[in-house]
Structure 1
Amino acid sequence: MNGKSSSTATFLTAADWQIDDATEAWLDQDGHLARLGEHGLRTADEKWRSYRAAGAPRVAAA
């Protein structure tokens, strides 16, 4: 062994990120979908992806 963990984490770039079912349910339940509408959510998503694109990929669990 070389001292490293044998498991490997999956890294995602901002472009590869997809919303999970729990987050989508939270958006709907708390009224964010109704308040922002589809256009508002797309705008927020694009802003987040632009911000994260400059950063290093993160593990999928993050």
Structure 2
Amino acid sequence: MQSDSSTCPCSAALSRQLLQQKFLADFATTEHIAKITVANWLLEQGSYATRTANAVSPLLR
């Protein structure tokens, strides 16, 4: 997936790692997670990377 984001690759990688760690912590005691729960979590938590308004996917607007 190509992005117009101006975030450097290292920052983006760190952001994904932090997001993964937060996800694992938030659902540490949950064995099965519904897709809608994950989708809502992603909407709430988003990304820790800084993005410009133009970098937001048209699907999310």
TM superposition score normalised by structure 2: 0.40
Bigger proportion of residues as strand: 1
Q: Which of the two has higher C-alpha Rg?
A: 1
TM superposition score normalised by structure 1: 0.39
